Amino acid sequence: MDIIACIKRVPQTAEADVKIDSSGKDIVKDRLQFDMNESDTYALEEAILLKEKFSGSLTVISVGTFDAEDTLRIALAKGADNAIRIKAEDFGELDGYKTAQLLKAVIKDLKHDAIFTGCIATDDYYSQVGVTLAELLGMPHASLVTKIEIDGNTVHAYRELEGGLLEHLAMSLPALFTIQTGINEPRYASLIAIRRAAKKEIKVIGKEEINAEDIVSFSSLEKLFTPPVGERAEILSGTLDEIGTRVQGIVKEKGLL
Amino acid sequence: MRGIININPEIRDAILESGGDDAIKCYSCGRCMAACPWNLIDDLDYTTYRFCQRIKLGAIVDSEAKEDIAADTDEVFRCIGCDSCRHECPRGVNLSDVLRAVRRILVDYDSYPAELKGVISRLYSSGNPLGESSAKRADWAKDLGIPHFDGTQEFVYFPCCLPAYDARLKLVAEATASLLTKAGISFGIIGEEEFCCGEAVRRVGAEKVFQSAVNNNTRVFQKFNVKNVITTSPHCFKTFQTDYPAFSDIQIMHVVQVLHQCLADGKLKPERPFKKKVVYHDPCTLGRQMGIYDQPRELLQSIPELNLVEVPVFNREFSVCCGAGAMGLWRDWPQDQRLVKIRTEQIFATGADVLCVACPYCLQMFEENFKSMNVDIEVMDISEILFSSLGQ
């Protein structure tokens, strides 16, 4: 089975003190750690597990700048066989649609039975690339997948719906899956694989190979801003004791207890 | 049983180049394993003496099987850097440094315990492991009238991250600052430009993040022309001396050294009785690693009616780690695999009313564990006990 996993290098912002930069279109990144996008780590692991079970090859692809090669090397160390970086710097501002088109331009020429992506990226939270890529490639797909079983040429994909419902899809290969966190336990890399990965060549594809004129965005970023405080929101300040007392007062005033 | 191993000189060389060259000295005598506190836990065999041999053969974390890699990686990240092994090692092998070399390679490839990721990320972006705003770093001192260090004071007081932000540990910073003021020490704080010393991130192998801490603190200390530093944490105390090349001409003192000197000079006079049975826990970094055993005990013995007791056998250089080192404070070990429980049992057996510590990590670790084990022993920093004994 030939598998492709799409991964993204993202800044860790969940617990960081995030500030908007002077362009107003990006965040200050010089004090942020960068990692593989969280749900992509699960997508990668799912791809590795399938490769181990059915043999074949696993190719990882990332649309990113040069630093993304560090993330691709991590994927190589964990079990991918080949890595491709699509030069983000060649294609200007990217939205989910444009990123999906870049991936399609490369993947259409690669042999593939299954494609895995994360279900959402923790930098822009667009959650568009996987499903758009599947549509562009004309492939069956399942989003937000929490369990996959393969039986012959049929894939059983399970997705969580709202209200505790689980959807069970029976699909034929080739197909694309956007993977939810928690579906598996992403692995560590062994030192032997790390040494091997450090020496592997990463294929780099840019505007020489992909005609940039054909790749367009659906949306453009106007500006980033912190959400304004809503009319019914009250931000409490003071010491923990003062805030606690005030919260207690509000709860009583509103008759919530 | 793994079967016959494959020698891999490339892995060996990578580890040695990352700072693991002490591994070469080891001859697998096993004294490190006997000294390692993890082996005080029932049903846990931490075969520390095998690490160096496996490194010399390049056969560590070398399996291709997911479960084997996970088990090996967990073992590499188990060591909390207490240095009990080095103390016992006939050849002085620094096993925690050897393991740090392995960790450095694994961390670069995102192969380390998940619970550490958030801590490292917070430290890098905010300058402290709690992810608090640097603007609030001096809040603990705002009602105490402590000046910002501007070069006219003799000392910088460096409280460390937990005493700067944590509600309980702020009391330690306050007691320390009050003692220094009372003793007439000229000092100021750096406040929001201060950055975590980074000792813990270095131990887990996040070397790039550690270097950012070094660069930041070096820039700030040079900007204010700092010459003398007092630390609350033994971890800052040690790493500033051993891992900050630009600090070689800066005098770094742990607070117990300063307070001991103040006592000798008659600048502090404990007069109020402290009528309690107190057991002193030697923090690994202050004791075994920096050799400070007598000064805290002499400080406590100077307090009227304080009854100082020792943990039998496991005191001074044989003290058992609380488990907080090398980011152990943020690890989520199974309940039956916690070093702090072992140490709590030893402390409880002394019948002490108060556990005295001289390290913020130890204080937090014991206080939380005493609550969860319903142990009725008060945990106090040495500065808090001393402050309570001063006359008006």
Do both B127 and B74 map to the same domain?
A: no
Q: Is residue B160 part of a domain?
A: yes
Do both A98 and A74 map to the same domain?
A: yes
Q: Is residue A223 part of a domain?
A: no
In chain B, % of residues over pLDDT 70: 99
* pLDDT 10s digits, B225-235: 999 999 999 99
Task: Report the pLDDT value the prediction gives residue A232, as an integer from 0 to 100.
Answer: 78
Whether the per-residue pLDDT at A205 is higher than 90: the answer is yes
Q: Under 8 Å CB-to-CB from A7, ≥6 apart: which residues?
A: A36, A37, A40, A43, A44, A60, A61, A62, A71, A72, A75, A118
Whether the per-residue pLDDT at A72 is higher than 60: the answer is yes
Whose structure tokens read 């103040």? Answer: B262
Do both A130 and A180 map to the same domain?
A: yes
**Chain A contact for B16 (CB, 8 A cutoff):** no
Q: Is residue B74 part of a domain?
A: yes
Task: Report the pLDDT value the prediction gives residue B286, as an integer from 0 to 100.
Answer: 98
* Shortest Cα–Cα distance, B357 to chain A (Å): 26
Mean pLDDT confidence for B234-248 = 97
Whose structure tokens read 């690890």? Answer: B331
Provide the domain count of chain B: 3
Mean pLDDT confidence for A105-127 = 95
> What's the rounded Cα separation, in Å, for the pair A79 and A84?
14
In CATH, what number is assigned to the domain containing residue B231? 1.20.1050
Q: Is residue A56 part of a domain?
A: yes
Q: List the one residue out of B244, B238, B187 whose CA is nearest residue B219.
A: B244
> Rounded to the nearest 10 degrees, how much is the dihedral formed by the CA atoms of B224, B227, B233, B236?
80
Do both B60 and B76 map to the same domain?
A: yes
Q: Is residue A83 part of a domain?
A: yes
Task: Report the pLDDT value the prediction gives residue A14, as an integer from 0 to 100.
Answer: 83
Do both A148 and A251 map to the same domain?
A: no
Q: Report chain B's mean pLDDT, rounded to a whole number.
A: 95
B105, B15 in Cβ contact below 8 A?
yes
Q: Is residue A219 part of a domain?
A: no
Global ipTM: 0.85
* pLDDT 10s digits, B277-293: 999 999 999 999 999 99
Q: Is B291 in a helix, a strand, or coil? A: coil
Q: Is residue B3 part of a domain?
A: no
Q: Is residue B44 part of a domain?
A: yes
Q: Is residue A239 part of a domain?
A: yes
Whether B125 and A32 lie within 8 Å, measured CB to CB? yes
- What confidence tier does A230 reach under pLDDT thresholds 50, 70, 90? confident
**Distances, alpha carbon A36 to alpha carbons A11, A212, B113, in Å:** 9, 26, 15
In CATH, what number is assigned to the domain containing residue B17? 1.10.1060
Do both B235 and B323 map to the same domain?
A: no
Do both A191 and A251 map to the same domain?
A: no
Do both A186 and A237 map to the same domain?
A: no
Q: Is residue B4 part of a domain?
A: no
- What confidence tier does B356 reach under pLDDT thresholds 50, 70, 90? very high
> For residue B206, with 0-12 CB atoms within 10 Å meaning exposed, 13-18 middle and 19 or more buried, which class applies?
buried
Do both B222 and B136 map to the same domain?
A: yes
Instruction: Please say which residue of B77, B96, B112 terminates a domain.
Output: B112
For the residues of B207-219, what is the DSSP string, one character each?
HHHHHHHHHHHHH
Q: Where does residue B288 fall: left (phi above 0), alpha (psi -120 to 50 degrees), or beta otherwise?
A: alpha
- What confidence tier does B392 reach under pLDDT thresholds 50, 70, 90? low
Whether B124 and A32 lie within 8 Å, measured CB to CB? yes
- What confidence tier does B169 reach under pLDDT thresholds 50, 70, 90? very high
Q: Is residue B1 part of a domain?
A: no
* Shortest Cα–Cα distance, B352 to chain A (Å): 32
Do both B287 and B375 map to the same domain?
A: yes
Q: Is B308 in a helix, a strand, or coil? A: strand
Whether the per-residue pLDDT at B1 is higher than 60: the answer is no
With beta carbons under 8 A apart, name residues in chain A contacting B102. Answer: 191
Do both A27 and A64 map to the same domain?
A: yes
- What confidence tier does B5 reach under pLDDT thresholds 50, 70, 90? confident
In CATH, what number is assigned to the domain containing residue B314? 3.40.50
Whether A35 and B111 lie within 8 Å, measured CB to CB? no
Q: Is residue B227 part of a domain?
A: yes
With beta carbons under 8 A apart, name residues in chain A contacting B122. Answer: 15-16
Position A186, amino acid: P
Do both A210 and A244 map to the same domain?
A: no
Do both B296 and B377 map to the same domain?
A: yes
Whether the per-residue pLDDT at B88 is higher than 80: the answer is yes
- What confidence tier does A13 reach under pLDDT thresholds 50, 70, 90? confident
**Residue range(s) defining the domain that contains residue B150:** 116-261
Do both A24 and A78 map to the same domain?
A: yes
Q: Which two tokens stand for residue A105?
A: 């331009």
Q: Under 8 Å CB-to-CB from B375, ≥6 apart: which residues?
A: B344, B348, B369
pLDDT-wise least confident of A12-21, A174-183, A228-237, B49-58: A228-237
Whether the per-residue pLDDT at A233 is higher than 70: the answer is yes
Q: Is residue B2 part of a domain?
A: no
For testing contact with chain A, the best of B121, B123, B211 (most A CBs within 10 A)? B121
